[in-house]
A and B are shown apart, each in its own frame.
Chain A
Amino acid sequence: MTLRERIRVELSKTRKRQAIAGATWGGVVAKWQQWKRLEQEGRLQDLRDRARDAKNKALGNHAQYLSQFVQQVQERGGQVHFAGTGAEAVQQVLAIARRAGAARVVKTKSMATEEIGLTHALEAAGLEAVETDLGEYIVQLAGEPPSHIVGPAIHMDRYDVAAVFERSLGAPVSSNPEELAAVARRVLREKFLHADMGITGANFGVAESGTVVLVTNEGNADLTTSLPRVVVAVMGLEKLVPTWADLEPLLTLLPRTSTGQNMTVYVTALTGPRQAAEPDGPDELHVVVLDAGRSRLLGSKYQDVLRCMRCGACVDTCPVFRQVGGHGYGTVYSGPIGVVLTPLLQGTAEARELLDACSLCGACTETCPVQIPLHELIRSQRADREPGRAERTLLRLWAWAWSSPKRYRFIAALLRWVTLPFRRNGRLTWAPGPLAAWYAGREFPAPAPVPFHKRWADLEKEVGG
């Protein structure tokens, strides 16, 4: 399906659209309140600047911080693997599982593992792989891809979730969210206690101590990294920060812009496997450092996008996302960050199609805690794109028509006349044919009865004589 076809399908799903509209609006309000509070306390810009600078420091000197990170992980007994592509990362994780004789895997929610299709690959290799984030567990049971980078199941309402649970458990389930969560707790508790391997993403990697930092609200990262004997963290190589001090503005902003909380409930920081005499924690800790198109952005005009910490603020605020939802994009990353990141990572014409799913309103750029100029990066990628022959001819014609005052005036006069039947109270409110779709939700000011240059010329005559 093309982008347009996907969007048409998604726009026809009324209940799903209501669920998405409700959840994203709730997100926008919660974040806005936090934003205002920080602004009133006079801390907002300072935090945003320090967060941006912390990531820029790591990205600007990436090779050095990466080697420091690797050295620290190894010094603490952890193992580091480099994956150039998603497929390589998948192979590495499968090899770790094979060597460890792992059969049962518990997973935390991670966009990097989503990006490389890790869960499906584990299942295809005959392992049991269970998503443990509540939203991610729901979409896994439903057999659907997540629809939002923070809230994977925001496109479903409670009745959808109850139906999914009933189908998988074979028993009736209440549609009360609290009871649904209790069902998931009971089922997943058993999975945690019997898992041989835990797989996580990484929200940050601290170079100075070789620490993988995970952020959750449910506590599933704590259990995923405490109970199984082998833990693998798949970390995008852009996740590095130099020091713990650099982490402070990032961890202060992330929960506020992600869910509107003052602080995430659980921040889980792993430095190597369990040490001697520790009662729990993994015997083996592996970090798979994932490139998959990231390193070629270092030093490019698109480096800024690597600051992203996947908070989802841009997604909730995006007027396109709020209408079509994540499934309309049809890609792992959706919303503004998905539009920017997907073509850059994948580099395919199909991915570049996403660049059209944007009105360049700039709301995303305003809400980004680490100040990524998202809409600028979309515009810049549109400019990089080779225009088609029809588009090129049209633009040439446009340029020719509007580059001479005589032709401009002729067209303007023509438009005043042509638009006459479409005016309502000085606005153009509808149009026939291919323009009808544009006017379906918008209107345009009608051309002035007397054009400006005519009024100017008349005024000059009057004043100057």
Chain B
Amino acid sequence: MIEQFQAALAALASTAVVSQDPVAILVPALQERGITEVIAWADPLLEQLGLPEAARRAGIAWYTAAPGSDPAEIRSVAARAGAGVTTADFAVAETGTLVLMSGPGRPRTANVLPPLHVAVVPVDRLRPDMAALFHELSTVAGGRGMPSGLHIVTGPSRSADIEDVLVRKVHGPGEVIVILLP
């Protein structure tokens, strides 16, 4: 499933890396792209992995959208950040898809406004295909647990509206990096 997920994302001009040490992937990726500011979900997983401190040590401003933060501030940081870092509630191997559920500390703009989206995803959240994903979503809906914003994201923003030529980074990011945690 992991190789399939990686192949699916590679076909979309994006990458999925398996790593026990996301710091070693994320920080150089941000530096290579000259990114100096990041907006991140307030997910305990990102804290546990030590991502905020590592980024800050490397001179990157890391803004965590903690619950209770000023929404206007979150929006303006997201609008100027070079990358948005989130987790994902599910991922789908067949298509290279990420599922992001909105909630406190989880701004919907974090994966869309910045030009790069990085998602840190434990491999046990990987499902083989759409049928398996929708089975999960049925359970969520049945338990009245549907978030107000559910975002199913497959690769970077794109369009073929001009001459049927594929163009990336239209409104959302031009690139997606997924770090899979074994």
Interface of A is mostly: mixed
How far is the CB of A2 from the nearest CB of chain B, in Å?
30
Cα-based distance from A269 to B148 in the complex (angstroms) = 8
Q: Digit string of A123-136 for contact with B (CB within 8 Å is 1, else 0)?
A: 00000000011110
Q: Which residues of A contact B147 (CB under 8 A)?
A: 271
Q: CB-nearest residue of chain A relative to B176?
A: A265
Which among B17-25, B29-37, B47-55, B105-113 touches the partner chain? B105-113
Checking A154, A181, A188, A245 against B164 with a beta-carbon cut-off of 8 angstroms, the contacting residue is: A154
Tell whether, in the assembled complex, residue A181 and residue B75 are in contact, meaning their CB atoms are under 8 Å apart.
Answer: no
Cα-based distance from A192 to B76 in the complex (angstroms) = 12
Interface size on A, residues (CB 8 A): 70
How far is the CB of B142 from the nearest CB of chain A, in Å?
7
Q: CB-nearest residue of chain B relative to A159?
A: B163
Tell whether, in the assembled complex, residue B112 and residue A223 are in contact, meaning their CB atoms are under 8 Å apart.
Answer: yes
Q: Does B124 contact A (CB under 8 A)?
A: no
Q: With A134-B162, A245-B135 known to touch, is A222 a contact of B172 (CB < 8 Å)?
A: yes
Q: Does B67 contact A (CB under 8 A)?
A: yes
Cα-based distance from A271 to B169 in the complex (angstroms) = 27
How far is the CB of A3 from the nearest CB of chain B, in Å?
27
Q: Does A208 contact B (CB under 8 A)?
A: yes
Tell whether, in the assembled complex, residue B163 and residue A251 are in contact, meaning their CB atoms are under 8 Å apart.
Answer: no
Most chain B CB within a 10 A radius of its CB, from A26, A267, A275, A278: A278
Checking A178, A272, A277 against B68 with a beta-carbon cut-off of 8 angstroms, the contacting residue is: A277
Q: Does A115 contact B (CB under 8 A)?
A: no
Which among A90-98, A212-220, A379-387 touches the partner chain? A212-220
Tell whether, in the assembled complex, residue A280 and residue B75 are in contact, meaning their CB atoms are under 8 Å apart.
Answer: yes
Cα-based distance from A275 to B160 in the complex (angstroms) = 35
Q: With A181-B169, A265-B172 known to touch, is A279 a contact of B74 (CB < 8 Å)?
A: yes
Q: Digit string of B132-175 for contact with A (CB within 8 Å is 1, else 0)?
A: 01110110111010111111111111111111110101111100
Tell whether, in the assembled complex, residue A181 and residue B170 are in contact, meaning their CB atoms are under 8 Å apart.
Answer: yes
Q: For chain B residues 59-77, which have a beta carbon within 8 Å of chain A?
A: 65, 67-69, 71, 74-75
Q: Does A206 contact B (CB under 8 A)?
A: yes
Cα-based distance from A258 to B8 in the complex (angstroms) = 19
Q: Does A244 contact B (CB under 8 A)?
A: yes
Q: CB-nearest residue of chain A relative to B166?
A: A177
Q: CB-nearest residue of chain B relative to A154?
A: B164
Q: Does A22 contact B (CB under 8 A)?
A: yes
Tell whether, in the assembled complex, residue B164 and residue A22 are in contact, meaning their CB atoms are under 8 Å apart.
Answer: yes
Q: For chain A residues 204-254, which have a beta carbon within 8 Å of chain B?
A: 206, 208-209, 211, 217-220, 222-223, 225-227, 243-245, 247-248, 251-252
Q: Does A140 contact B (CB under 8 A)?
A: no
Q: With A219-B172, A278-B102 known to touch, is A133 a contact of B151 (CB < 8 Å)?
A: no
Q: With A135-B161, A271-B146 known to touch, is A227 a contact of B153 (CB < 8 Å)?
A: no
How far is the CB of A142 from the nearest CB of chain B, in Å?
13
Q: With A22-B163, A217-B158, A222-B112 known to touch, is A279 a contact of B105 (CB < 8 Å)?
A: yes
Q: Which residues of A contact B150 (CB under 8 A)?
A: 211, 268-271
Q: Which residues of B contact A225 (CB under 8 A)?
A: 108, 149
Tell whether, in the assembled complex, residue A274 and residue B68 are in contact, meaning their CB atoms are under 8 Å apart.
Answer: no
Checking B71, B94, B112, B161 against A219 with a beta-carbon cut-off of 8 angstroms, the contacting residue is: B112
Cα-based distance from A189 to B163 in the complex (angstroms) = 23
Q: For chain A residues 253-304, which have a beta carbon within 8 Å of chain B?
A: 259, 262-275, 277-281
Q: With A23-B163, A222-B112, A222-B172 known to touch, is A244 a contact of B141 (CB < 8 Å)?
A: yes
Most chain B CB within a 10 A radius of its CB, from A22, A76, A225, A270: A270
Tell whether, in the assembled complex, residue B158 and residue A280 are in contact, meaning their CB atoms are under 8 Å apart.
Answer: no
Cα-based distance from A445 to B10 in the complex (angstroms) = 54
Q: Does A153 contact B (CB under 8 A)?
A: yes
Q: Which residues of B contact A275 (CB under 8 A)?
A: 103, 148
Q: Does A66 contact B (CB under 8 A)?
A: no
Q: Does A344 contact B (CB under 8 A)?
A: no
Cα-based distance from A27 to B166 in the complex (angstroms) = 12
How far is the CB of B66 from the nearest CB of chain A, in Å?
9
How far is the CB of B168 from the nearest CB of chain A, in Å?
8
Tell whether, in the assembled complex, residue A134 and residue B164 are in contact, meaning their CB atoms are under 8 Å apart.
Answer: no
Q: Does B87 contact A (CB under 8 A)?
A: no
Q: Does B97 contact A (CB under 8 A)?
A: yes
How far is the CB of A21 from the nearest CB of chain B, in Å?
11
Q: Which residues of A contact B135 (CB under 8 A)?
A: 245
Q: With A219-B171, A227-B109, A280-B74 known to touch, is A265 a contact of B155 (CB < 8 Å)?
A: yes
Q: For chain B residues 91-130, which have a beta carbon within 8 Å of chain A?
A: 94-97, 102-109, 112-113, 130
Pairs A–B under 8 Å by Cβ, sample size 24: A22-B163, A135-B159, A151-B160, A154-B164, A156-B162, A158-B165, A161-B162, A177-B163, A181-B167, A181-B170, A184-B170, A193-B75, A208-B141, A217-B159, A217-B170, A218-B170, A227-B75, A267-B151, A268-B149, A269-B150, A277-B68, A279-B65, A279-B69, A280-B102
| Additional A-B contact list (20), CB under 8 Å, known A152-B161, A244-B140 | A22-B163, A138-B162, A153-B162, A154-B161, A211-B141, A217-B157, A219-B170, A223-B172, A225-B108, A227-B109, A243-B141, A251-B130, A263-B97, A263-B130, A264-B154, A265-B158, A269-B146, A269-B149, A279-B105, A281-B148
Chain B residues within CB distance 8 Å of chain A: 8, 65, 67-69, 71, 74-75, 79, 94-97, 102-109, 112-113, 130-131, 133-135, 137-138, 140-142, 144, 146-165, 167, 169-173
